[in-house]
C-alpha cells in the first residue's frame, strides 16, 4: 500500500482484526453485485469505500424519479441514465482506487456464470425471484459465497450461503418454490426508504468479513428484521439433502 492508501484505510488498519493484512486482502478482492437499486446502492458504496479492489455491478434499468427515495447511489440529475453508469460515478467518486466494471445488461444464467467465475463473493441485491434463483444456481455450481438480501414494506432479511462448503444450505433449500407466483417486484411494492440501507449495510458487513475471513458470518442463518417493531430474529437454516440445486451437486461432488 502507498501512503495515500495507508491514510485512506487507516481506520480499518487500526482494527486488530483487519490490520494491513486484512486491508490488502480487500484490495485484492473482486465482488459481483447483482443489482444497483435499493440494496445494491449501499452494498456497493460501502464495498467501494472499504477498498474492495474490483467491483462488477450489473443492472439493466435506468434511473427513475421513483427510485430516488431509497436508491442512494443515484441522484436527480441522473434520471434517465443507466443505473450502472450512475453507480459507477458515485463509487469512483467515493474511491477512485476501486476498479468498477459497470454492466447494463439483462443477466441470464450463462452470463452470470461467466461474471461470477473470477470473483471472491457474490452479492444478490436483485429485486426478482428468477434472478435470485439464477444467482443461487451459479454460486452453487462455482462454489462461491452468496450474500443474499431482500427488503419490502418494513420487512427485511439477510442470509449467507457459503457455498465453498459442501454442507452449506443454498437459497433454494430455504425457498424451494420456483417463485413464479411470488414474483413481487419491489418496483410495484412499497418500501420504507432506510430499510434497504439497513439490509444492504448488513450484506456489506457479511461480504467484507468473508473476504477477510474474520468473525463469524451469517452462514446457515436467516436474519429477519421487522422494521416497524425494530425486532430482529435469527433462524437456523438446514441444508435440504433432496435440494434440486445443491443436493444434486453434492452427489456429483461425492461421485467425483
Catalytic residues: 186
> Rule CB under 5 A: is residue 243 a binding residue for Zn ion?
yes
Total residues contacting Zn ion by CB under 5 A comes to: 6
Select 12 or 172, whichever has its Cβ closest to Zn ion: 172
Alpha-carbon dihedral sign for residues 66, 70, 71, 75: positive
Nine-digit cell at 112?
452470470
Residues 6+ apart with CB under 8 A from 110: none
Please return the burial class of 49, using the count of CB atoms within 10 Å of its CB with bins 0-12, 13-18 and 19+. middle
Q: How far is CA 71 from CA 58, 63, 65, 79, in A?
A: 15, 9, 10, 12
Measured distance CA(243)–CA(239) in Å, rounded: 8
Binding mask 163-182 for Zn ion (x = CB under 5 A): -------x-xx---------
> Rule CB under 5 A: is residue 246 a binding residue for Zn ion?
yes
Region binding Zn ion by CB under 5 A among candidate stretches 149-157, 158-166, 182-190, 243-251: 243-251
Region binding Zn ion by CB under 5 A among candidate stretches 183-191, 199-207, 208-216, 235-243: 235-243
Q: Are 32 and 125 in contact (CB under 8 A)?
A: no
> Rule CB under 5 A: is residue 83 a binding residue for Zn ion?
no
Select 14 or 254, whichever has its Cβ closest to Zn ion: 254
Measured distance CA(68)–CA(239) in Å, rounded: 38
Smallest distance, Zn ion to C-beta of residue 56, A:
25
Smallest distance, Zn ion to C-beta of residue 245, A:
5
Q: Are 133 and 223 in contact (CB under 8 A)?
A: no
> Rule CB under 5 A: is residue 73 a binding residue for Zn ion?
no
> Rule CB under 5 A: is residue 249 a binding residue for Zn ion?
no
The three-state secondary structure class of 13 is: helix
Select 55 or 170, whichever has its Cβ closest to Zn ion: 170
What is the 3-class SS of 93-119, one letter each residue? Answer: HHCCCCEEEEECCCCCHHHHHHHHCCC
Select 2 or 242, whichever has its Cβ closest to Zn ion: 242
Q: Are 120 and 30 in contact (CB under 8 A)?
A: yes
Smallest distance, Zn ion to C-beta of residue 167, A:
11
Select 61 or 109, whichever has its Cβ closest to Zn ion: 109
Smallest distance, Zn ion to C-beta of residue 149, A:
18
Smallest distance, Zn ion to C-beta of residue 204, A:
24
Q: Are 62 and 80 in contact (CB under 8 A)?
A: yes
Select 160 or 170, whichever has its Cβ closest to Zn ion: 170
Q: Which residues bind Zn ion (CB under 5 A)?
A: 170, 172-173, 243, 245-246
Amino acid at each position: 500500500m502507498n501512503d495515500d492508501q495507508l491514510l485512506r484505510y487507516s481506520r480499518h488498519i487500526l482494527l486488530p482484526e483487519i490490520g494491513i493484512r486484512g486491508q490488502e486482502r480487500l484490495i485484492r478482492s473482486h465482488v459481483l453485485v447483482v443489482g444497483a437499486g435499493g440494496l445494491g446502492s449501499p452494498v456497493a458504496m460501502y464495498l467501494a469505500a472499504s477498498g474492495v479492489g474490483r467491483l462488477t455491478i450489473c443492472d439493466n434499468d435506468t434511473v427513475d424519479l421513483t427510485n430516488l427515495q431509497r436508491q442512494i447511489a443515484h441522484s436527480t440529475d441522473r434520471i434517465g441514465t443507466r443505473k450502472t453508469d450512475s453507480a459507477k460515478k458515485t463509487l469512483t467518486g467515493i474511491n477512485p482506487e476501486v476498479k468498477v466494471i459497470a454492466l447494463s445488461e439483462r443477466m441470464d444464467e450463462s452470463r452470470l456464470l461467466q461474471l461470477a467465475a473470477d470473483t471472491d463473493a457474490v452479492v444478490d441485491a436483485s429485486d426478482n425471484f428468477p434472478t435470485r434463483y439464477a444467482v443461487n444456481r451459479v454460486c452453487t455450481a462455482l462454489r462461491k459465497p452468496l450474500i443474499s438480501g431482500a427488503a419490502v414494506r418494513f420487512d427485511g432479511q439477510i442470509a449467507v450461503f457459503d457455498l465453498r462448503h459442501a454442507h452449506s444450505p443454498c437459497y433454494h433449500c430455504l425457498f424451494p418454490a420456483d417463485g413464479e407466483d411470488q414474483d413481487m417486484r419491489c418496483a410495484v411494492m412499497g418500501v420504507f426508504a432506510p430499510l434497504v440501507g439497513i439490509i444492504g449495510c448488513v450484506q456489506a458487513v457479511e461480504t467484507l468479513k468473508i473476504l477477510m475471513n474474520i468473525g463469524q458470518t451469517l452462514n446457515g442463518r436467516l436474519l429477519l428484521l421487522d422494521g416497524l417493531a425494530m425486532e430482529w430474529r435469527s433462524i437456523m437454516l438446514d441444508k435440504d439433502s433432496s435440494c434440486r440445486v445443491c443436493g444434486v451437486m453434492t452427489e456429483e461432488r461425492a461421485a467425483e
